[in-house]
Amino acid sequence: MVNRTVVRSKKKTVYVAAKRYIPGRRHSVDTDLICIAVRVAVTCMVFAYIVYAPLRCRYKHNVPVTCLLVLLLIAITVAVTILFLSSGRNYYKYSTFGILLWIFLAVLIFYLSVRCSRLEILFLVLVVLNLYVNIMVVGKVMGHVLHLPFSCELSKLLYAVLVLIGYIPLLGSLFLDLYKKVIELNVASSFWRFIWVIPALTYLVFYVKFISDYWKRPVHMGTGDILFTILWSFTTYALFWVTLQMIIQTHEGISAMEDTKRITMQLEMQKERYEKLLENIESTRRLRHDWRHHLMSLNGFSENGDMEQLQSYLKKLIPEYEACRDFSLCKNHVADVILQHYAGMAQNHGIETEITVDLPEECGIADTDLCIIFGNLVENAAEACIAQSEGRKYIKVNACRKGRQLILTIKNTYGNQINRQKGRFSSTKHEGAGIGLESVNKVVEKYQGVMNVEYDKTYFTVCVMLNAQTKP
């Protein structure tokens, strides 16, 4: 029981509460502290699993050490809550200090346990703080609406557990789905430069509105307060969900722009290479017409019996002949130029080649696109064979036009390990995706075709089918 003594003055009326000794009160305080500790610990353990699970690939330490750091954070959270945010003490005056202290320690422990930028960690900590408060305030609203006793810490514990169970699917969707995608994208630290302000502002709104004594003593909750609390709770969750989606979409958009830029640069380089190949082939064809002059000179040396000059002239002509020797692999000029170039490269490196190409002069595919297809795939096959340190080196190229479809199959041996992530082949020459195959895939999409890649321990096979734009 509590006796109230009213002291009146001219300026104000002061209510002084005189507390009587109640048997078992000490036991009640201990029970409240235990309930607070259990409530906070259970909630933190759920959050710890949901938050740390997507971050497994970024752990700085092994799992046992990381678990110890997480337990340390949970213990700190329980201690801060009991010291600064529990009812029945004057520590509520220092609740701001307690919250800031917890944020600092949480950021520190996250930084010690995972590889993330400081701003990303701050964003994550503030999101967790907002969602934790979400669960607590929704529990309070539920107790108030149902007219259940809220002054008892055991009641708060039960409300928090019930709301937490209902929140688990939402938390899983937010962290195990969306935030996991953000982790896998390896978003640059610049993305988090201002993003952390969003959860900071949402928490500030709630703090200004309620946090001063929200959990210290029973306060009257009007309809407006209830509506505000519910609206704030769901708005914050939706805002964080939209924020993560925005980060994913923005990063993917920037990555797509960078890929497009790289592919464009690759196409320009391939165009230049193609033009140089054409120049080389044309120069060799022009040289063919000069051979009659060489033959006339050889005939003159022979008739004059000048064997020394004849031999000297032949020594100069043989390399020139080998360099400009013309052999046609198919009627299509673009494919013929590229195949001749890489066939010569394969021959120089001791690579066995088997080329069967039956393409008309006009095959219904733009010259630049045909250059991308043949250039990238044949080049990849040649480089894979050159990189082999042992074993048979072999390249097989088949290409033909059947109806409206152009079919190209390239099969080659390889020695390096295949790098494949999420269905995309990574380059063995540099970090990141293979630009060659990506540019080929762009052409395939342009002609509404298909590309199939198969490989085993010995052979790597690429099959491309394009829909030609002209009739055969």
Strand partners, 420: 425
Confidence at 465, pLDDT banded by 50, 70, 90: very high
**Domain end position, chosen among 258, 278, 298:** 258
| Mean pLDDT, residues 291-309 | 73
Q: Are 253 and 337 members of one domain?
A: no
* Most confident stretch, 91-105, 156-170, 296-310, 451-465: 451-465
Q: Are 222 and 362 members of one domain?
A: no
**DSSP reduced 3-state for 15:** strand
Identify the helix (H) or strand (E) that includes residue 357.
strand 352-358
For residues 350 and 378, the answer to whether their CB atoms sit within 8 Å is no
Inside any domain, residue 111: yes
Q: Are 107 and 245 members of one domain?
A: yes
Beta sheet of 450-455, edge-to-edge order: 352-358, 394-402, 405-413, 459-467, 450-455
Inside any domain, residue 121: yes
Q: Which residues contact 406 (CB under 8 A, 6 or more apart)?
A: 359, 363, 364, 365, 399, 400, 465, 466, 468
Q: How far is CA 454 from CA 395, 420, 429, 441, in A?
A: 15, 12, 20, 15
| Tokens matching residue 169 | 């699917």
**Domain end position, chosen among 258, 293, 309:** 258
Q: Are 337 and 246 members of one domain?
A: no
| The pLDDT of residue 406 | 92
- Encode pLDDT of 156-181 as tens digits: 777 778 778 878 888 888 888 888 88
Query: How many whole angstroms separate alpha carbon 40 and alpha carbon 38?
Result: 6
Q: Are 354 and 249 members of one domain?
A: no
Mean pLDDT of the chain: 76
φ and ψ of 423, to 5 deg:
80, 0
Confidence at 204, pLDDT banded by 50, 70, 90: confident
Q: Are 250 and 337 members of one domain?
A: no
Lowest mean pLDDT across 37-51, 175-189, 190-204, 287-301: 287-301
Q: What is the CATH number of the domain that holds 387?
A: 3.30.565.10
Q: Are 252 and 342 members of one domain?
A: no
Domain range for 449: 331-472
Residue 5 pLDDT greater than 60, yes or no = no
Inside any domain, residue 398: yes
| The pLDDT of residue 22 | 40
Identify the helix (H) or strand (E) that includes residue 359.
none
**Domain end position, chosen among 228, 258, 288:** 258
Q: How far is CA 420 from CA 259, 377, 432, in A?
A: 17, 17, 10
Inside any domain, residue 418: yes
| Mean pLDDT, residues 254-270 | 74
What is the SS3 assignment for 416-460?
Answer: CCCCEECCEEECCCCCCECHHHHHHHHHHHHCCCEEEEEECCCEE
- Encode pLDDT of 216-250 as tens digits: 444 455 666 677 777 777 788 888 888 888 888 88
Q: Are 370 and 232 members of one domain?
A: no
Q: Are 153 and 38 members of one domain?
A: yes
Domain count across the chain:
2
